Amino acid sequence: MRRFLPFLIVALIAAAVVFFIARPKPVAVQLVTATAADIQTSVVASGRVLPPARVDIGATITGRVEAVRVREGARVAADELLVELEQRELKAAVAQAEAALKRAQARVASVSTLALPTALAAQQQARANLALAEREAQRARELLAKGFVSQSRVDDAERQLEVARSALASASAQSAAQGSGGAEAQQAQSQRIEAEAALQLAQARLAQALIRAPAAGVVLERLVEPGDIAQPGRRMMTLALDGAARLIVQVDEKNLPLIRTGAVATAAADAFPEERFRAVVNYISPGIDPARGTVELRLDVADPPASLKSDMTVAIDVPGPVLKQAIMLPAEAIRQLQTDAPWVLVEREGRAVRMPVKTGLQTQGRVLVSEGIQAGERVILARDVEPGARVRGRE
């Protein structure tokens, strides 16, 4: 047995040498140390400049264009004349309506100053005639009783009395008709009101032949020339009205927790990146675009640079909340990030150890890890390393 001992020792030594030679060498991997810190989040996105309001200008009546007063790019003031339609027929209609109104006003004046006094005078005369006829009839009846006149004389007096009564009733009706509440006066007033409405309509149609700017702005597009036929619903030009500039931006829906109304963002046009300006988030769409998975933001620009033009592309940086003592890891360090079971590889005593984690916000290529690892642990970035592999890390 003793003579085999040296051979046994040599065999063990040889086996150990083979084991250490054949054992896989540690894989060199890049490590990142998980660090808890206060993180200022932000959302970076691209959008464009919206004019405060884009207004399409058109005619409300059909007519031939007589003159176009502005060109594309021109700045216009509020109520400034833009397009002038032919007006001869419309002016003639206004003149005709004015004449009709004068006739109606003359009739009203005639009723109040001539017809009514005449009717009142006729009524007074009829009342006096009735009083005379009553006295004559009474006298005839008295004379008949004394035998001085015949019955026929009394009958004639009675007929004259009835005629006087009828005349008074007719004069009273005529004066009532000519009075302020009478039929003749009301008809005259109705004709005057109708004539005034007809004049207002004619004047309104004439005013529609002069197409004016609803507010101050800039002419973006001109689509009409003198001689064209303007029609309701046909666009003649487009104005961008003056006012505060606005930005419209589409951001990924996963960034919604980082955005709040009133946040002050930093923006710059792609054409002038050195001219940065402030923009305030004033609207967050309540809906999500299902096709792109984005949400719409609108931002007001109180003091836009002079170089900022409508429809320019802009980049914005919207600051989000500060995450207190949060651990943020590079997105490439987290395996199966888009699944319900993300995990990372952590270096422990020279080995790659798989650790399930819980993730949160994602911003600028970094992911919040809320559970699974502690501050100070070293996470492996390499994707070609399997759990359990021997690793040799470098920060």
Query: What is the mean predicted confidence (pLDDT) over 216-233?
Result: 92
Which two structure tokens, joined as six digits, stand for 198?
């007809």
**How big is the chain, counted in residues?**
395
First to last CA, the chain: 54
Choose among 368, 380, 379, 393: nearest CA to 36.
Answer: 368
pLDDT digits (tens, 9 = 90+) for 242-271: 877 889 999 988 888 888 899 999 999 999
Question: Does 3.30.70.890 match the CATH number of domain 26-41+324-394?
Answer: no
d(CA 324, CA 375): 13
Q: Which residues pair with 368 in a beta bridge?
A: 328
Residue type, 229: I
Q: Which residue has the higher pLDDT, 75 or 121?
A: 75
Which amino acid is residue 94, in one-letter code? Answer: V
CA angle 19, 23, 29 (to 5 degrees): 160
Task: Tell me the pLDDT tens digit for each residue of 82-132.
Answer: 999 999 999 999 999 999 989 988 877 766 665 556 667 666 776 777 787
Number of H helices, E strands in the chain: 5, 21
Whether the CB-CB separation of 59 and 234 falls below 8 Å is answered with: yes
The CATH number fitting domain 42-52+243-322, selected from 2.40.30.170, 3.30.200.20, 3.40.250.10, 3.40.50.170: 2.40.30.170
Q: Per the structure block, which two tokens stand in for 267? A: 């923006």
- 310-340: pLDDT as tens digits: 789 999 999 888 888 888 888 888 888 888 8
Q: What is the pLDDT of residue 24?
A: 60
**pLDDT given for residue 59 in this prediction:** 93
pLDDT of residue 137: 74
**What burial letters (b/e) apply to 239-262, b meaning 16+ CB within 10 Å?**
bbbbeebbbebbbeeebeebbeee
CA 262-263-264 angle, 5° bins = 110
Helix 183-208 to helix 151-178 angle (10° resolution) is 20
For residue 395, what are its two tokens? Answer: 């920060």
Which pLDDT belongs to residue 21? 46
CA 277, 283, 286, 288: dihedral to nearest 10 degrees? -20
**CB atoms < 10 A from the CB of 113, how many?**
9
Q: Which fold has domain 53-85+213-241?
A: OB fold (Dihydrolipoamide Acetyltransferase, E2P) (2.40.50)
- Residue 316's SS3 state is strand
SS3 323: strand
Name the nearest CA neighbour of 334 among 383, 296, 297, 390.
383
Average pLDDT over residues 36-64: 87
